[in-house]
Structure 1
Amino acid sequence: MIHRTRVKICGITRAQDMRAVADAGADAVGLVFYPPSPRAVSVEAAVELVKHLPAFVTTTALFVDPEIDLVNQVIEQVKVDLLQFHGQESAAFCRQFSRPYIKAIAMQPATDLLAISASYYDAKGLLLDTYKPGVPGGTGEAFNWQWVPRSFSMPLILAGGLTPGNVASAMAETGVWAVDVSGGVEAEKGIKSADKIQQFINQTQI
């Protein structure tokens, strides 16, 4: 059975980019609550950004080893649908909040996805990203897609170095449930390109 690959556009910082993502037909947007990131937004800014989203576009909040209070503040004020944890958060930490979550995994040759999925058994999916020491995602680099199992017990989301030029081949090679892009659809760091967003989503529908 062939499924439609879901698309998340991450690192939205501007209202016009939020509207462009929705207009292009993305399934989800990502807001980054990690201050060192060039794509980070404040809670106050995020509250305003989500006002530009129509129905049926999921909002995801991305954290990297956050304080509990920050996660709760984002949940309460931004009303996000999904939490995305990109650091060394334990399964117990991820599941303590009143929201579904996904866990990002920095992929290496010896990464044991079966063991990880057993620990994070209640996650809505595992997001597979490129491993780069000291950089929790947003590397703009792809990892070896042959490491992605073609059949798995929970949804897998592919991230890391995806662009309009390679996303179709990435999907064909991995068969993942969803793809997640940030830098690959930007005009510059933190500023999205409406044309690249549309091109990316068009390539996921081929």
Structure 2
Amino acid sequence: MKLKVCGMKYAENIMEVAALHPDFMGFIFYPHSKRYVGEHFDLKKIKAFPKEVKKVGVFVNAEEQFIRFMVKRNDLDYVQLHGMESPAYCERLSYEIKIIKAFGIHPHFDFHSLKKYKPHCSYFLFDTKISSFGGSGKQFDWNILNQYDLDIPYFLSGGVGMGSIADLKQQHPFAIDVNSKFETDPGLKDTDLLQEFLAIIHA
């Protein structure tokens, strides 16, 4: 399984986590998030960022031009769309950048609704459904994923922590998305805990 560490915010901590070589790192460009990187954030100013670590920009119902600007400024490899973005919206952006489309999962979620997104997305991300936008820090019933039958690989998100390892190995997602369970403060990651988690999932 691959690992995405999301909600990175502080330059020194970004480099500490990047040195662990997770597969993806996520940076939130949504002003209402506690982990918002700020309007002047520029990843290119962080020296020696490992090329093999893919940079993901997280956006929520953002203007397309804003996304394009941030993709260029930060040399992003993917954008993760965490709002109510339509298939047509995803299609327009997909000509310029790879898309990870996030969906909030609940007991009655209709996985057939994802088919119209399939041509435009490299990956899906399944998180816990909440009333607001962004991550929940809570785990949904992963057994619901037995209903998923598309061939688009997915990231599994929502309250993933050290106690999730046994269940994760039964689900076999393409990647795991972690955030708050590995923080000492919002946006500040515990590198020792992440290193331990990486060693286990890659064993």
Secondary structure of residue in 2 paired with 1:143 = coil
Measured after TM superposition, the shift of residue 178 of structure 1 is 0.5
**Is residue 57 of structure 1 aligned with residue 50 of structure 2?**
no
Q: Which moved more, 1:61-70 or 1:37-46?
A: 37-46
Give, in whole Å, the separation in 1 of the partners of 2:75 and 2:7: 17
Instruction: Quickly say closer, same or farther: Cα 1:94–1:49, change in 2 above 3 A.
Output: farther
Matched, 1:144 2:141: yes
1:156 has 2:154 as partner: yes
Paired position in structure 2 for 1:26: 22
Identity of aligned residues (%): 28
Whether the 8 Å CA contact 1:15–1:49 is kept in 2: the answer is no
Equivalences, count: 200
For residues 51 and 113 of structure 1, do their structure 2 counterparts lie closer, same or farther at Cα, with a shift above 3 Å needed? Answer: farther
Q: Which residue of 2 aligns with 1:99?
A: 97
Partner residue of 1:113? Answer: 111
Q: Match of 1:195, as an amino acid?
A: D
Q: Distance in 2 between matches of 1:142 and 1:86?
A: 17
Q: What RMSD, in angstroms, separates the aligned Cα atoms of the two structures? A: 1.7
Question: Residue 69 of structure 1: CA displacement?
Answer: 2.2
Unpaired runs of at least 5, structure 1: none
CA–CA distance in 2 between the matches of 1:50 and 1:127?
27
TM-score, normalization: structure 1?
0.90
Question: Structure 1 pair 121/175, CA: closer, same or farther in 2 (3 Å)?
Answer: same
Q: Which moved more, 1:116-125 or 1:185-194?
A: 116-125
Uncovered stretches (5+) of structure 2, i.e. residues with no partner? none
Work out whether residues 156 and 178 of structure 1, in 8 Å CA contact, stay in contact via their aligned partners in 2.
Answer: yes
Q: 1:169 — aligned with what?
A: 166
SS at match of 2:127: strand
Q: Which amino acid aligns with 2:120?
A: D
Alignment partners' CA distance in 2, 1:83 and 1:151: 24
**Kept after mapping to 2: 8 A contact 1:20/1:197:** no
Render the CA deviation track for 1:150-195: whole Å, top value 9, x for unaligned.
75411011000001231x2232221111100111110111111111
TM-score (norm 2): 0.91
Q: Using the alignment, how far apart are the partners of 2:49 and 2:115 within structure 1?
A: 31
Q: Letter of the aligned partner of 1:179 in structure 2? A: I
Q: Structure 2 CA distance, aligned partners of 1:29 and 1:45?
A: 15
Which residue in 2 is equivalent to 1:12?
A: 8
